[in-house]
Amino acid sequence: MPVTKILTAGIGEVDMRGIGAYRQRGGYKQWERVVRELQPSDVLDLAEKSGLRGRGGAAFPTARKWSFLPSDKQLRYLVCNCDEAEPGTFKDHMLLEDAPHLVLEGMLIGAYGIACHHAFIYIRGEFKRGYEIFCAALEEARNAGYLGRSIFGGVYDLEITVHRGAGAYICGEETGLLNSLEGKRGEPRLKPPFPAVEGLYGMPTVVNNVETLAYLVPILERGAQWFASVGTERSKGYKIVSVSGHVRNPGNYEVALGTTVREIIELAGGLRPGRKFMAVQPGGGSSACIFEEHLNLPYDYESMTKAGSMLGSGGFVVFDDSTDFVNAAYNLVRFFAHESCGQCTPCREGGSWMERVLERLVQGRGIPGDYEMLLRVSGSITGLNLCALGDSIEPFLKSVMLRFPDQFKSRVAAEAGRQW
């Protein structure tokens, strides 16, 4: 199956950062059509019929998310989530830097779809270059009259504010993001109420991922049917998969959902010569590994879930037989422990203690019982936290521990004694 190019069309070939280049490729035509010809409900309708689901990780149906907004409140906000920090995911980074106008047009259409007049984009602090590129694009679009007051001479007003983060993975979680946007610590909020009811400044708010909003542009252009006709039964359309790890040509590959895992690895040039496939983490750092027996599975939301993992953000890390899975698990657990905001005890304490246990395993200083303890502790973190970060500690660790128990057990020191 060939790689498709919808959002990624032109990226790496043409410089699309200027508004002229983007318009030459048909840019902002859909935005003009939306404002001149369509009602917000038409956009919602298209989003619904297309079957578009959130591309940031949670895969929630986009139209349904929008429909949760209470109809009696006029003041509402759209926030575009560009705080991409899921380990192994680098698609939003690319879209922001290489196709800023596409991201912006998607945001404009999304904002119109929920009939809001002030939208925000939260850009990860590390993406300074992307932030500058996007700000320049926004300025061009503003000068062209694509946002501001009475867009295209009509009655619709829309303002967009660019907000730059400052280094915190947890701000990718939507309520953490909203707190950060309000100038607070990026700590997730208790849900419900969900942002659609009480979000930014206590008003109804929709938080959508960059890729999700960007797909609105081709959906408007080619129709909901076109998008819905691709993919599997419940996973419609396309997805940018960020392939990295032990493949020959790592990069972003846009594929129809339902492309097999094996085909995606082959798209990225396959494994390096002489190497043997061990595992792939198909949905970012929060997902469990899948293995050889899953290679022929279609890459869609349902199949990944059924295989015990998830499609998540589309961060697709391939591991060959040179991988030290104890070190890999340590790396991810350390990441989550480091990024835990500290509000919930299971995540804060569980994560950092597991990090210490894994650290001694990596160094070959494990003590008998560490293997069982890790499984027990990770299992008792899941499901007991405000947000999904705590729940993300277990999947990868558990999947590789059950698959490669010897790698872990062999790290127990021969003459074990408590180190501390």
Partner 1 sequence: MTEREKNFPALLERLAPKCSELMARYEQKRSALLPIVHLFQEHEGYVSGEAMAATAEMLEITPAEVEGAVSFYTLFYRRPVGKYMLQVCRGLACTINGAEDIMAYFREKLGIGHLQTTDDGLFSYEEVECLAACDRATCMEVNLEFAYDLIPQKIDEMLAAMRAGEYGVAPMAQTDVPGRTWSIAADAQIAFGQKSQGAVEVEDPNNPGGIGDESGTIMLDHLINRDVYLFGKTTERAVVEARALVETIDERTNHAGH
Helix segments in 229-273, DSSP class H: 261-267
CB of 130 to partner 1, least distance (A): 10
Rounded Cα distance between 268 and 263, Å, is 9
Q: How far is CA 399 from CA 6, 175, 365, 386, 387, in A?
A: 33, 29, 22, 23, 21
Q: Which is nearer to partner 1, 25 or 117 (CB)?
A: 117
Q: How far is CA 91 from CA 48, 275, 327, in A?
A: 24, 27, 25
CB of 161 to partner 1, least distance (A): 5
Q: How far is CA 81 from CA 42, 136, 374, in A?
A: 23, 19, 33
Assigned token pair, 188: 């997730």
Q: Which is nearer to partner 1, 198 or 339 (CB)?
A: 339
List 412's β-bridge partners, or say none: 366
Q: Which is nearer to partner 1, 296 or 419 (CB)?
A: 419
SS3 content of the chain, % helix, strand, coil (to 5): 45, 15, 40
Q: Which is nearer to partner 1, 242 or 407 (CB)?
A: 242
CB of 328 to partner 1, least distance (A): 6
Strand order in the sheet with 77-82: 159-164, 118-123, 77-82, 205-209
Angle between helices 128-143 and 100-113 (to 10 degrees): 60
Q: Which is nearer to partner 1, 231 or 285 (CB)?
A: 285
Q: Which residues bind partner 1 (CB under 8 A)?
A: 84-90, 92-93, 118, 124-129, 161, 163-169, 180-187, 201, 242-246, 250-252, 281, 285, 315, 317, 319, 322-323, 327-328, 331-332, 335, 338-339, 341
CB of 33 to partner 1, least distance (A): 29
CB of 19 to partner 1, least distance (A): 22
CB of 39 to partner 1, least distance (A): 26
Strand 159-164 with 77-82, pairing? unpaired
Assigned token pair, 301: 């939301």
Q: Which is nearer to partner 1, 225 or 322 (CB)?
A: 322
CB of 58 to partner 1, least distance (A): 18
Rounded Cα distance between 72 and 223, Å, is 30
Around Cβ 295, how many Cβ atoms within 10 Å? 15
CB of 360 to partner 1, least distance (A): 15
Q: Which is nearer to partner 1, 302 or 320 (CB)?
A: 320
Residues 6+ apart with CB under 8 A from 128: 164
